[in-house]
Structure 1
Amino acid sequence: MKNIVYLLCFSLFNICSDKGEEKPTNDSTRKPNIVYVFADQWRAESMGYTGNPDVKTPNLDKLASEGVYFTNAVSTSPVCTPYRAMLLTGQYALKNGMFMNDIRLNPDSNSFAKLFKAEGYNTAYIGKWHLDGNERSAYIPKERRQGFDYWKVLNCSHSYNNSNYWGNDDKLQQWDGYDAEAQTKDAIAFIEEQAKNKTPFSLMLAWGPPHAPYQTAPKEFQDLYKNTDIQLRPNVPRELSEKTKNILKGYYAHCSALDSYIKQLQDALKRSNIEDNTIFVFTSDHGDMINSHGEEKKQKIYEESAKVPFIIKYPALLRKKGKKSDFLLNTLDILPTLLGMSGINIPNNLDGENITDVILEKREDYRKASLVACVQPFGQWKRKIGGKEFRGLITKTHTYAKDLNGEWLLFDNVADPYQLNNLIGNSAYITISKNLEKLLKEELNRLDDDFLPGQTYIKKWGHAVDSTGTVPFKW
């Protein structure tokens, strides 16, 4: 019934557009195309439109002005493989078993591309995969590609210049130059070819940057920051200031390079006359600490790790007005929302929600919190450097987390936006802490998460780890 309502909404929006507003030019009765673009390790605050004074992202700023951008988009498990598995399956990490890097997603999963293929979509994936086990450069056979037919993929690499990939011909090939640029050109060629026929398509483009190594973007983008005095977040320790500034120059260079490719993709959609009937998403799998709180990389609940950019543009439904939303969007909502917007039935076993009606303001913003979880610390956040299991919540005003020993973190993100003052045990926040504890229990119960030690889940799923609790990988 909901899908019928959404299809009626499509028609009503096309008929009842605001006076003087540009109308869609293509056939909006067709199922929309999907172009889902996501970077690796791009934190939410590293955008011009969020007020970052240094990073140059004019094209993403424009995209935000034409779509809906979320200020509270949360990576449910902020690390590569768990995010990607939740994105494709719509299931929580303890249900699909993908709670660490370098493990293999069940090839029989009823995942993203399979669901769209069943509705007549052509499917494509270009770029970083990181869902096929610990051999990062190995060939991935068709039966493990989760329903994606057009395929130019490497499981995982952080070499961004002249990197390798496996193509549709099942041969190991090489991207020419900076791989994100070459991958974007390939994505554009796919878009233009698909636009020639009437078949809807779903394309995922997964860039490797701005993940480290930070200093490998094309020179023209590195030069943008060469003489910039980078402004640091107040939670970066003073002794790490110069190191952090140098990292951010390279990080922002990657960001600006990717930003330029957003324009190329948008131009291709316009040229092909399919912009209006295409759902275009830009986001990231997780953020990057970059020395905030003296921490590196991801897996953590701090804002720099857990919050990501998320922009969705779909002129046929959402128009091109530009809108900011503070809804607490999480990773599990993405698949059901894209299915719902496309008029496709949503499987009952998904753990997120179709939030289309919230975006359209046809339903009140009902969500109180989004879950963030680390089931098993590993790799860049192994136990000897402070890694721990945790479950926590991000709300519009607070961040709260528990580890296996009890309450761990409580931040008032309004009064303390850089999360400098842990309020656990502060008598003025006891009631808030108790309310957040209750909300967390409800969410864990909903997801059948008993919050046990990570080793319990490693044994259950049969993952092979080393002495640090990490799945060792091979290049």
Structure 2
Amino acid sequence: MSLKKISFLFLVVGMAVAGSAKADQMPTERPNIIFIMADDHAYQAISAYGEGLNETPNIDRIAKEGAIFTRATVTNSICAPSRAVLLTGKHSFMNGKVDNIQPFDWEQDNFPKLMQANGYATALIGKIHLDGQPKGFDYSIVLPGQGEYYNPDFLINGKTKRIEGYVTDITTDLALDWLENGRDKEKPFVMLYHQKAPHRNWKPAPEYLTLYDDKEFSPPANFFDEETNYQGRGTAAKEQAMEIDEIMRWGRDLMLEVNPNGDSTGLKGELRRFNPEQLKAWRDAYDPKNAAFLKAYGKLDENTLTLEKKREIAIWKYNRYIKNYLRTIKSVDDGVGEVLDYLEANGLAENTIVVYTSDQGFYLGEHGWFDKRFMYEESFRTPLLVKYPKEIKPGTTIKSLVQNLDFAPTFLDYAGIEVPKEMQGDSFRKLVSGESNEWRDAVYYTYYEYPAEHSVKRHNGVSTDRYKLIHFYYDVDEWELYDLEKDPREMNSVYDDPSYAEVKEMMHKKFEEVRTKYGDSDANDKRFLDEYMEVYNRRNGK
């Protein structure tokens, strides 16, 4: 990107940076931090993880020049709570943001506030999905709520401004804009650069609308898991509402303006946001593909479809989903490359920590699902890649149980700022540098948003490097136990298997141990259930 373009964006946005401390108060060699967070980016869709779905050469650069974490996880696999954990370094039940409904308290400490107060220039650019005015940032420009892919609105100092273009590209431009023109260059900086993609509903950029048109993706081996009624698991797996075949919407998710019965899907209303050039590119790309599908499968009576035909349609839906999902990631990867190139071109790469992660994992057809929420691996695990040339050796692999709980204390550690006692995470600085191998042996998880979209039941649990114990509660009381070494896809709970009796006992003790350590309890579960149901019932007229 040219400096002329960057300067133009700077003027359009009308950015004003306010310093928080004098530069001469702190050493000049404290590291800069660029924290890149995508939304719903599954580790399976980063080529450095070796799944073979797609190529992400720029994100992979971070792993090649630094470290890749193979067992990074989240504490609560849903968007807003995950971001609250990132900022505060506290579990959801401690920071108060347990679901997407409850408000977030910006008055509590967060790591950008502490870094700002200690001489860092701070910025938040892109998606945060937390209500209220962000605090701790000299500058913030954020998407309201989920944001839009095309011609998105942004909140700038509490005012809404629409910027024409594609959201991923715009977010990258704004990040480069701040790096070049907005920050106080006498200070070290921390920039939270957050992309909307690849969040539902996966609208690709104009230049990638036909990417993968020449490829047919094979679904995961357990894609038709529903046909066995999720044998080997409990009620929660059976009653979720995340199936690609059953739940995805013809318009919103699958990009058809009419469904196979000829009924309007409502997509046309979404396309009104496009400008004429964007709309033409969209129609040129999707109209022929949609017409071919409707010709092959239109006006079919679902009650008389053979199993073979049902599977054909399900695989078509999977391909439409996965191609659009991966197309949006291509733009994210492009943006990462632009930022990395900027750091190198401006002599900033050596002293800048670059982190790439997601707010949680995501299902890419495993069990036949999309979305997240469960403590099962694809949702629980998140990608994490970190580079810092001064301390992290290229090609490092970290297998330890790091969580998003650890970001805040880690960044404060790098900045030489005392970590508040109320932060519950640990700095992984010495772990990733190779200075120490000491680390936790278990991680704790909670999920609260039920009843809600996707119908994933409330649950909590504990995971070690090999075993995972999950407790589903509220309208059920069921436990599941998985041996991740023998059953990495979590197809069969061994909770009632006599040969795992000692493991079950050990994991129950570990569950109580970590609950006590972090300050969670059944009383918390009841409190947050009562608060949630009050709002839920009010919204649903009950």
Corresponding position of 2:427 = 354
Partner of residue 480 from structure 2, selected from 409, 419, 427: 409
Q: Does residue 299 in structure 1 map to residue 373 in structure 2?
A: yes
Partner of residue 210 from structure 2, selected from 213, 220, 223: 223
Same amino acid, percent of matched pairs: 28
Q: How far 1:197 moved relative to its partner?
A: 2.1
Partner of residue 155 from structure 2, selected from 152, 157, 166: 166
The CA distance in 2 between the partners of 1:193 and 1:315, in whole Å, is 25
Corresponding position of 2:48 = 49
Corresponding position of 2:462 = 393
Q: How far 1:102 moved relative to its partner?
A: 3.5
Partner of residue 176 from structure 1, selected from 161, 164, 167: 164
Which residues in structure 2 correspond to 1:102-117 (within 5 Å)? 102-117=101-116
The CA distance in 1 between the partners of 2:153 and 2:220, in whole Å, is 36
Q: How far 1:317 moved relative to its partner?
A: 2.0
Corresponding position of 1:423 = 494
Corresponding position of 2:37 = 38
Whether the aligned pair in 1 keeps the contact of 2:401 and 2:443 (CA below 8 Å) is yes
Q: How far 1:463 moved relative to its partner?
A: 8.0
Gaps of 5+ in 1: 1-27, 133-139
Whether the aligned pair in 1 keeps the contact of 2:373 and 2:447 (CA below 8 Å) is yes
Q: Secondary structure at the match of 1:235?
A: coil
Gaps of 5+ in 2: 1-26, 226-310
Q: Alpha-carbon deviations, 1:193-239, whole Å to 9, x = none?
A: 3677221111111111101112x111433433112121322221174
The CA distance in 2 between the partners of 1:148 and 1:167, in whole Å, is 12
The CA distance in 2 between the partners of 1:178 and 1:237, in whole Å, is 35
Whether the aligned pair in 1 keeps the contact of 2:121 and 2:183 (CA below 8 Å) is no
Across the aligned residues of Structure 1 and Structure 2, the Cα RMSD in angstroms comes to: 2.3
Partner of residue 151 from structure 1, selected from 134, 140, 162: 140
Q: Secondary structure at the match of 1:466?
A: helix
Q: Alpha-carbon deviations, 1:280-326, whole Å to 9, x = none?
A: 1110001222442244312111112111100111112224x121110
Q: Does residue 315 in structure 1 map to residue 389 in structure 2?
A: yes
Q: TM-score, normalised by structure 2?
A: 0.74
Q: Alpha-carbon deviations, 1:248-305, whole Å to 9, x = none?
A: 1111111121111110010111112111111111100012224422443121111121
Q: Secondary structure at the match of 1:204?
A: strand
The CA distance in 2 between the partners of 1:308 and 1:470, in whole Å, is 32
Whether the aligned pair in 2 keeps the contact of 1:379 and 1:470 (CA below 8 Å) is no
- The alignment of Structure 1 onto Structure 2 pairs a total of residues equal to 427
Corresponding position of 1:197 = 185
The CA distance in 1 between the partners of 2:519 and 2:191, in whole Å, is 32
Whether the aligned pair in 1 keeps the contact of 2:93 and 2:524 (CA below 8 Å) is no
The CA distance in 2 between the partners of 1:308 and 1:91, in whole Å, is 18
For 1:235, give the aligned amino acid: N
Corresponding position of 2:290 = none
Whether the aligned pair in 2 keeps the contact of 1:237 and 1:291 (CA below 8 Å) is no
Corresponding position of 2:259 = none
Partner of residue 263 from structure 1, selected from 321, 332, 337: 337
The CA distance in 1 between the partners of 2:187 and 2:445, in whole Å, is 37
For 1:53, give the aligned amino acid: G
Q: Does residue 250 in structure 1 map to residue 324 in structure 2?
A: yes
Q: Alpha-carbon deviations, 1:137-186, whole Å to 9, x = none?
A: xxx5xxx3222121111231242111100124x43112331111111011
Q: How far 1:403 moved relative to its partner?
A: 2.0
Q: Does residue 466 in structure 1 map to residue 539 in structure 2?
A: no
C-alpha change, 1:365 and 1:236, in structure 2 (3 Å) is farther
The CA distance in 1 between the partners of 2:360 and 2:320, in whole Å, is 21
Partner of residue 405 from structure 2, selected from 323, 329, 332: 332
Corresponding position of 2:362 = 288
The CA distance in 2 between the partners of 1:242 and 1:189, in whole Å, is 40
Whether the aligned pair in 1 keeps the contact of 2:62 and 2:354 (CA below 8 Å) is no
Q: Which has the larger radius of gyration?
A: 2
Whether the aligned pair in 2 keeps the contact of 1:389 and 1:454 (CA below 8 Å) is no
Whether the aligned pair in 2 keeps the contact of 1:73 and 1:328 (CA below 8 Å) is yes
The CA distance in 2 between the partners of 1:52 and 1:158, in whole Å, is 29
Whether the aligned pair in 1 keeps the contact of 2:77 and 2:374 (CA below 8 Å) is yes
Q: TM-score, normalised by structure 1?
A: 0.84
Whether the aligned pair in 1 keeps the contact of 2:100 and 2:449 (CA below 8 Å) is no
The CA distance in 1 between the partners of 2:50 and 2:356, in whole Å, is 18
Q: Alpha-carbon deviations, 1:71-120, whole Å to 9, x = none?
A: 01101100011101111111111111100103322131111221111111
